[in-house]
Amino acid sequence: MKKQIRHFLFCLFLMIGIFTYAISANASDIPNSEKALVYDDANLLSPSEMNSLTSKLEALNKKHAVNIIIVTTKDTGGKTDMVFADDYYDYNGYDENGAVLLINMNPKGWTISTAGTCIRSFTDYGIQRIGSIITPDLKAGDFNAAFIKFINTADDFLTQAKNGTPYDTNHPYAAKVSVMKIIIAMLLLALAIALIIVRILAFQMNTVRRQQSAKAYEKGMNLTTQSDIYLYSHTTSHKIESSSSGGGSSTHTSSSGRTHGGGGGKF
């Protein structure tokens, strides 16, 4: 009996040792950021840009009680971008609720991995919407501008989710448009309408035509037959049904056993 117990305890400790080694080996592939909010391993930002972005993220995270972070890299160690982003968040001690924006420069792509309450705040639709907002700046090489837009949009998404209606397929996100752009658009529209009206009035005034005989000015008509024939009328109506179901967030399990949401794309 004692021999069996010793054998069982030996196997148990062996399994624990193997499991611990596997986790530590996996975590060793992830850079140690010491919970930095901006980890620029690809050297895409200047020191002043990093400081400014860090301050913005600190304010954002304090406002919404989450950990939103930005990571750049040129080497994911053979992992997919999503696996790298998941592991980076899990093995660097970030809070339960948060998200990481990963920019990989080889090959060029962006990935957002979400955890905890941020899975609901950033739906599949919402993540792709963020991607469409930051991709033009990423392509242009203006990474600081892309990250500022990410932070501002994340703030909008977290606020909307806190109000109970996360941005999704049934509740699309409309990016903010500056007041000046709206005023310019309205002025251009008014000018176009005015030009159309002037053209119509000018065309209507140009109606005088030279006639070859006086018959065109004769008044009156002789009708030999007059009748009104009403055939029939038939109207068919169809009711158009609409659906407003949301898309939600797809999830997966990371190497640490944690649930994540997320998505990404190329630039």
Asked if residue 148 and residue 41 are part of one domain, the reply reads: yes
Question: Looking at the domain assignment, is residue 110 inside a domain?
Answer: yes
- Our measurement of the distance from residue 29's CA atom to the centroid of its chain's CA atoms, rounded to an integer in Å, reads 29
Question: Looking at the domain assignment, is residue 231 inside a domain?
Answer: no
Instruction: Give DSSP secondary structure letters for 183-230.
Output: HHHHHHHHHHHHHHHHHHHHHHH------SSGGGG------S------
Question: Looking at the domain assignment, is residue 11 inside a domain?
Answer: yes
Give per-residue pLDDT as tens, 214-249. Answer: 555 555 555 555 555 444 444 344 343 333 455 899
Nearest to 112 by CA among 265, 222, 233, 253: 265
Number of neighbouring beta carbons within 10 Å of residue 79: 17
One-letter amino acid identity for 18?
I
Asked if residue 163 and residue 36 are part of one domain, the reply reads: yes
Asked if residue 95 and residue 15 are part of one domain, the reply reads: no
Residue 136 has pLDDT above 80, yes or no: yes
Asked if residue 19 and residue 138 are part of one domain, the reply reads: no
Question: Looking at the domain assignment, is residue 207 inside a domain?
Answer: no
Question: Looking at the domain assignment, is residue 144 inside a domain?
Answer: yes
pLDDT at 238: 39
Asked if residue 39 and residue 17 are part of one domain, the reply reads: no
Paired tokens of 55? 């301050």
Asked if residue 19 and residue 117 are part of one domain, the reply reads: no
CATH of the domain at 106: 3.10.310.50
**Which band of pLDDT confidence, cut at 50, 70 and 90, is reported for residue 200?**
confident
What's the number of domains the chain is made of? Answer: 2
Residue 250 has pLDDT above 80, yes or no: yes
pLDDT at 1: 55
Output 11 or 166, whichever has higher pLDDT: 166
Task: State the Cα–Cα distance between residues 62 and 69, nearest whole angstrom.
Answer: 13
Question: Looking at the domain assignment, is residue 5 inside a domain?
Answer: yes
Asked if residue 19 and residue 147 are part of one domain, the reply reads: no
Asked if residue 93 and residue 42 are part of one domain, the reply reads: yes
pTM over 0.85: no
Place of tokens 């050297």: 43
Q: What secondary structure letter does DSSP report for 239?
A: P
Asked if residue 124 and residue 2 are part of one domain, the reply reads: no
Q: 11-15, 17-21, 151-155 — which one is most confidently predicted on average?
A: 151-155
Place of tokens 């301050």: 55
pLDDT at 85: 98
Asked if residue 111 and residue 17 are part of one domain, the reply reads: no
Task: State the Cα–Cα distance between residues 123 and 105, nearest whole angstrom.
Answer: 25
Residues 6 or more apart whose CB falls under 8 angstroms from that of 220 comprise none
Average pLDDT value over all residues in the chain: 80
Number of neighbouring beta carbons within 10 Å of residue 1: 5
In contact, 74 and 41? CB cutoff 8 Å? yes
Asked if residue 15 and residue 42 are part of one domain, the reply reads: no
pLDDT at 160: 97
Asked if residue 88 and residue 14 are part of one domain, the reply reads: no
Task: State the Cα–Cα distance between residues 199 and 197, nearest whole angstrom.
Answer: 5
- Our measurement of the distance from residue 206's CA atom to the centroid of its chain's CA atoms, rounded to an integer in Å, reads 54
Range(s) of the domain holding residue 50: 32-176+254-266
Give per-residue pLDDT as tens, 93-129. Answer: 999 999 999 999 999 999 999 999 999 999 999 999 9
Task: State the Cα–Cα distance between residues 82 and 111, nearest whole angstrom.
Answer: 6
Question: Looking at the domain assignment, is residue 181 inside a domain?
Answer: no
Question: Looking at the domain assignment, is residue 71 inside a domain?
Answer: yes
**Which of 27-31, 144-148, 160-164, 238-242 has the lowest average pLDDT?**
238-242
Task: State the Cα–Cα distance between residues 92 and 40, nearest whole angstrom.
Answer: 15
Q: What secondary structure letter does DSSP report for 168?
A: B
